[in-house]
Amino acid sequence: MNKYRVFYSFRKGSSSTSSTIDVEAESDFMAAKIAEGQARKRNSGRDSYEFLVTKIELR
């Protein structure tokens, strides 16, 4: 398992918010999937927002 920092945005129309989240995963792809799940759990009011990964860093 590797540690990743995932930079992401939630967007809907002209509204957007950005943040980061640290996760452990076996690949960049899985890091993005895990980050999306955790970010959506933290931001339950943004269910209808699009989740966009802007950058992934290996830590």
pLDDT at 47: 85
pLDDT class for 44, splitting at 50, 70, 90?
confident
Closest alpha carbon to 13 in 44, 49, 52, 43:
49
Q: Which CATH class is domain 2-58?
A: alpha beta
The model's pLDDT over 8-43, given as tens digits with 9 standing for 90+, comes to: 999 999 999 999 999 999 999 999 999 999 999 998
13-42: b or e for each residue (b if 16 or more CB lie within 10 Å)? eeeeeeeebebebeeeeebbebbbeebeee
pLDDT in tens, 27-36: 999 999 999 9
Task: Quote the tokens at residue 11.
Answer: 């967007």
How confident is the model at residue 35, as a pLDDT? 98
pLDDT of residue 2: 97
